[in-house]
A and B are shown apart, each in its own frame.
Chain A
Amino acid sequence: DTAVSQTPKYLVTQMGNDKSIKCEQNLGHDTMYWYKQDSKKFLKIMFSYNNKELIINETVPNRFSPKSPDKAHLNLHINSLELGDSAVYFCASSQAGAGPYEQYFGPGTRLTVT
């Protein structure tokens, strides 16, 4: 059973398009995250949600909008894609509360904007 899954695994699109990446976890966790890994492999958090509520919103362009329909899903919608959005996007989940807790990562979605 896949703990944290993401679709699609690869996404190639043109500048200006709108795209979504889906994430699902079957671990029963309350907290989910989105991280971006750039071309230099640097990983940085973008958002976190706790039980469908936005907790962390780093300095991310408002073209990026996370959506959490329920606590097992956290989707990432990106409007007006730009070349600089090309990266690998990782979803993660963890338990909520005082912690600390380990974060479990999905396999990543490689987004290429041409």
Chain B
Amino acid sequence: AQSVTQPDIHITVSEGASLELRCNYSYGATPYLFWYVQSPGQGLQLLLKYFSGDTLVQGIKGFEAEFKRSQSSFNLRKPSVHWSDAAEYFCAVETKEYGNKLVFGAGTILRVKS
């Protein structure tokens, strides 16, 4: 069965510092990969997605992610974090073989210190 691992439960970075959130997936074929963000008490907003093609994808709010097939990873990055980026971030994988359902990682809580 497919699974998604986000190794870091919490990450704290200083405002203006760079950020990398890790995501690894377990699936035989190429999955479709997503990063969502959830602010406190809010729903999920899509940051970016990877379906095929260029392995470096750009998203909203200055985020980017790189798909590395050899490492089964899809890490999320941002060069300079803003206080408003404090939220919980979820990596997810979707596969046609599993009925187009999204399988989510456990999430990473990002704290930004000023």
B94, CB-defined interface residue at 8 Å = yes
Q: Are B106 and A41 in contact, CB atoms less than 8 angstroms apart? A: yes
Checking A99, A105, A106 against B100 with a beta-carbon cut-off of 8 angstroms, the contacting residue is A99
Q: Are A107 and B99 in contact, CB atoms less than 8 angstroms apart? A: no
Checking A31, A41, A45, A99 against B96 with a beta-carbon cut-off of 8 angstroms, the contacting residue is A99
* Residues of A close to B113: CB separation below 8 A: none
Chain B binding surface, main DSSP class: strand
B25, CB-defined interface residue at 8 Å = no
Contact-residue size bin, chain B (C-beta under 8 Å from the other chain) = 20 to 34
* Residues of A close to B99: CB separation below 8 A: 48, 55-56
Bits for A81-98, please: 1 = Cβ < 8 Å to B, else 0: 000000000101010001
A92 and B38 alpha carbons, distance in the complex (Å): 14
Q: Are B32 and A100 in contact, CB atoms less than 8 angstroms apart? A: yes
Checking B36, B90, B101 against A33 with a beta-carbon cut-off of 8 angstroms, the contacting residue is B101
Query: Please, which residue of chain A has its CB at the minimum distance from the CB of B51?
Result: A100
* Residues of B close to A56: CB separation below 8 A: 99, 101
Residues of B within 8 A of A (CB): 32, 34, 36, 38, 42-46, 49, 51, 88, 90, 94, 96, 99-104, 106-107
Closest 5 CB pairs of A and B: A100-B32, A105-B44, A43-B104, A107-B43, A45-B101
